[in-house]
Amino acid sequence: MDVEDFADVNEFFDDSRFVILETNDSALIGNMSRYDIDDNHIVAYSAESGFAVFDKDGKLLKSFDHRGEGPEEYIQVTGMFLHDGLIYVVSGYQSKILVYSAEDGLFQKRIITVR
């Protein structure tokens, strides 16, 4: 991929940089449908392969998929955001938000929402 082929993003943003995400058998994320970025992480989600967490330089740190019907699992991801090293996964179908650590993908807490 040649960075020069892209539009000059500096016309639109004060600060920008391209990050090439690591690709290997553990880091294949398929059709990425959601992503978010904080100061230390890049998180990508694809329905086919789940979550992939990268450091700010694009190195894969962790991949996980907690799909299921258990209390710490989601059936379908309808939203996702990253804040302070935590990944908030919205499962609208189940009316809950699940929180996982970006460092290790481990479950942190569940937030029940009201319909």
Residue 9 lies in a domain: no
Residue with tokens 């500096």: 10
Q: Please report whether residue 3 resides in a domain.
A: no
Q: What is the pLDDT of residue 24?
A: 74
Count of domains forming the chain: 1
List the CATH number of the domain containing 51.
2.40.10.480
22: which residues sit within 8 A by CB, 6+ positions away? Answer: 54, 58, 59, 60
Q: CA angle, 62 as apex, 58 and 63 as ends, to 5°?
A: 105
The whole-angstrom separation of Cα 78 and Cα 11 is: 32
What predicted TM-score, i.e. pTM, was given to this entire model?
0.79
Q: Is residue 91 part of a domain?
A: yes
pLDDT tens digit string along 76-113? 999 999 999 999 999 987 889 999 999 999 999 999 87
Closest-CA residue to 94 (of 63, 65, 73):
73
φ/ψ of residue 56, rounded to 5: -65, -10
101 within some domain: yes
